[in-house]
Amino acid sequence: MNGRDWIEASRLRTLPLAAACVMVGAAVAFSSAQDSPLASVRFWPVFAGIILTVFGLQVLSNWANDLGDHENGADGPDRTDRAVASGRISPKSMKRAVILLAVLVLFGGMGTVAMALQGTELFLSAIILILLGILGIVAAYRYTAGKNPYGYAGLGDAAVFIFFGWVGVAGTAFLLSHTWSWTWLLPGTFTGALSVAVLNLNNMRDFKSDEAAGKRTLVVRLGWDKSKRYHVFCFALAWSAWWLFSLAVEPGQWRGALWIFALSLLHLGHLVRVFQTSDPQALDPELKRVALSTALIALFLLLAQTQDLAV
């Protein structure tokens, strides 16, 4: 066991996608935050705190996934890319690391909430956000770890949609602006559905091994062909929600629309390739492309609002 094993187990390539909901939340909150002297001064420090907390939560999820899939038999010694299953990190060491990181994420999240809302009268809101954070930590662990993990019952998609969609975007926007709008659930649907699409790709890639191990992901439940149609639905839902928000609900969010539209065309090519493939392993490059393109789009949305990129 060495530092490189822990870095590989952390799956740092998943962090850009995890940050997408925070960047979109910051984008939709920016104009409202400028109306509050307190929120505007704290905007970027709070943004950094949220990003670090989300990164910690994502790594926690990755470590717990590595541990849980080993303990539940989904990963065997042949999975050399998995630290626990391959024997490079012991289950005991991983459990300790998961507990330590969970504590750090909890206190980091509480500190970010305190920094964001200090000096306001939003105490109840702070409590709700902290409780959501605790729920997020539990969800990250229970996805594949512990007894009866919900990821093995096909419920992972719902959890990803909620936490990397609605909670991630709306929670970020609230912390940064000290205001609330139900319309933020639309951009939350955007990042949530795209995050689910990435999870769906991951599960399509692992379709055969998950089915053999008794891991009843939504892909295993739906089957190969229906999973492809479900994949299209995720993208249709995501982009419909975003354009509804930016062109009808919050027209001020149209800035950068031409570039965003151009970037969205990358997803059309992706869908064509998914429908053409019959080999689950051939989807691995597509998984990376969708994750990075989603993060890139989220970054551009943030820059379009905060740096006034008006094209």
* Mean pLDDT, each 10-residue run in order, the chain (311 residues): 86 94 96 88 96 97 90 69 83 95 97 94 94 96 88 92 97 96 96 97 90 87 95 96 86 71 86 92 91 93 76 46
DSSP-derived letter for residue 74 is S
Residue with tokens 């089957």: 223
- Which amino acid appears at position 206 of this protein? D
C-alpha to C-alpha distance for 247 and 146, rounded to whole angstroms = 44
119 backbone φψ class: left, alpha, beta (φ>0; ψ -120 to 50): left
Q: Burial-class residue 24 by CB neighbours within 10 Å (0-12, 13-18, 19+).
A: buried
Q: Which of 15, 44, 46 is nearest to 195 (CA)?
A: 15
C-alpha to C-alpha distance for 74 and 79, rounded to whole angstroms = 10
Long-range contacts of 205-211 (CB under 8 A, 24+ apart): 205/280, 205/281, 205/283, 205/284, 205/287, 206/280, 207/280, 208/280, 209/74, 210/74
C-alpha to C-alpha distance for 84 and 90, rounded to whole angstroms = 6
- Structural contact between residues 141 and 63, judged by C-beta atoms closer than 8 angstroms: no
Chain centre to alpha carbon of residue 266:
20
**Cα–Cα distances in Å, from 232 out to 68, 75, 217, 279, 296?**
29, 29, 18, 18, 20
Q: In the prediction, which pLDDT does 254 show? A: 65
Q: Which two tokens stand for residue 210?
A: 């998950």
Domain ranges of the chain: 3-306
- Which amino acid appears at position 220 of this protein? V
Q: In the prediction, which pLDDT does 311 show? A: 46
DSSP-derived letter for residue 123 is H
DSSP string, 124-187: HHHHHHHHHHHHHHHHHHHTTSSSS-GGGGT-HHHHHHIIIIIIHHHHHHHHHHS---GGGHHH
DSSP string, 2-14: -HHHHHHHHTGGG
Q: Which of 218, 167, 173 is nearest to 189 (CA)?
A: 167
Q: Residue 278, Cβ neighbours under 10 Å: how many? A: 7
Q: In the prediction, which pLDDT does 253 show? A: 63
The terminus-to-terminus CA distance of the chain in angstroms comes to 50
**3-class secondary structure, 246:** helix
